[in-house]
Copies of this chain bind each other. A is one copy, B any other.
Amino acid sequence: MKIAVDAMGGDKGSQAIVSAIKEFLVDNDDVEIIVFGDQEQLKELPSSCRIVHAPDVVPMEAGALEVIRMKNSSMYKALSTMKEEGLDAVVSTGSTGGFLSAATLILKLLPGLKRAALVTAFPTIIKGKKVVVLDAGANNENSPEELVQFAYMGRAYHQALFDVDSPKTYLLSNGTEANKGSPAVKKAHELLINNNFPGFKGNLEAREVLKGEADILVADGFSGNILLKGAEGTAKTMSNMIKDIFKKNLWTKIGYLFVAKGFKNMSETMDYKSTGGAMLLGINGVVVKAHGNSDAYAFKNALRVAKKMVDYQVVSKIKEIGKSGQ
């Protein structure tokens, strides 16, 4: 198995990525990692890694065309080498928009698929349980037929990552009844029922997502993005408030000692870093986007997700969805 790593463009610098690769290889010495970046910053990588010098960093606001013009950027080189050499996967922590759109342009959509979708695993209050959400923001709008394909792709992704026999799939909507939702959601609901989609359970309201009833949540890219960022913003705001409460004075610091364990568990439950970033589904290759502020722990999880996707042959499984003409 060969995984390309774009080592530039993350908020924490390439050192975090070097550490992540070292730790990952301890348990996965059968994987070959090809690392793209400034070779000066990559000296501490183990000798088993191939290093490709590509020092330019794609700016955060770059689009696909800009990435493709930057021939010496780590991102472009990682994607084009993947295409040329048939590497199995690519992982990047750089510019989201640039990475996703350049990956689609260079690696191409799988035949029969209408749109790629960004998928992520989101925490729930059920210990260890994540809900798979897609599209998390690769698209600005989606047709009912695209939502149906997302449901099939989400199921393939879920089965690769988690050991659940019959995952429950829901549509994100503004009401639980079948006749509630945007026009696209209402029509997709009808299509999923007509298709006898395995494990389709109907609509889910945004306030229920964290409860963990759903395994897979299908949304158009615009509202999926709003759900995820809204929940992330609320959780972060409350976490900051909690920190301020405990830091206030000596007494509140003493108070913290009595409940430190509980609050640590809570922040682990709500921690998106353990989910290993997001993956672009529907593309000819495993394309993983780690969070821009990934530390070594988060980036190692992103590498693990990439490996699981290759092991489980998610790309071939999604190819079947395109062929079946769903």
Chain A interface (Cβ < 8 Å from any Cβ of B) = 61, 97, 125, 137, 140-141, 172, 174-175, 177, 180-183, 185-186, 205-211, 221-223, 225-238, 240-242, 244-246, 248, 251-252, 254-259, 262-263, 266, 269-270
Contacts and interface: CB of A to CB of B under 8 A. Distances in A.
B255 A181 contact: no
Contacts of A172: 226
Nearest to A125: B237
A4 to B, nearest CB: 27
A130 to B, nearest CB: 15
A206 B222 contact: no
Contacts of A254: 258
25 contacts: A125-B240, A137-B174, A140-B182, A172-B226, A174-B222, A206-B226, A206-B227, A206-B230, A207-B230, A207-B236, A209-B233, A210-B234, A210-B237, A222-B223, A226-B226, A231-B233, A234-B234, A238-B238, A238-B266, A241-B269, A244-B262, A252-B259, A254-B258, A255-B256, A255-B258
A183 B16 CA distance: 38
Contact of A234 (B141, B235, B255, B257): B235
Contacts of A233: 206-211, 231
B61 A177 contact: yes
Given A137-B174, A226-B174, A251 B258 contact: yes
Contact of A263 (B140, B182, B185, B245): B245
A262 B259 CA distance: 15
Nearest to A262: B245
A211 B254 CA distance: 29
B206 A229 contact: yes
Give the number of times this chain occurs in the complex, counting copies: 2
A284 B201 CA distance: 40
A232 to B, nearest CB: 5
A231 B248 CA distance: 26
Contact of A227 (B186, B205, B230): B230
Contacts of A177: 61
A118 to B, nearest CB: 11
A143 B318 CA distance: 34
Contacts of A207: 229-230, 232-233, 236
A269 B240 CA distance: 13
A61 B240 CA distance: 38
Contacts of A244: 262
B227 A140 contact: no
A256 to B, nearest CB: 7
Contact of A257 (B137, B221, B236, B255): B255
A202 to B, nearest CB: 15
A189 B291 CA distance: 28
A114 B205 CA distance: 26
A195 B205 CA distance: 35
Interchain residue pairs A-B with the least CB separation, the first 4: A255-B258, A207-B233, A245-B262, A206-B230
Nearest to A263: B245
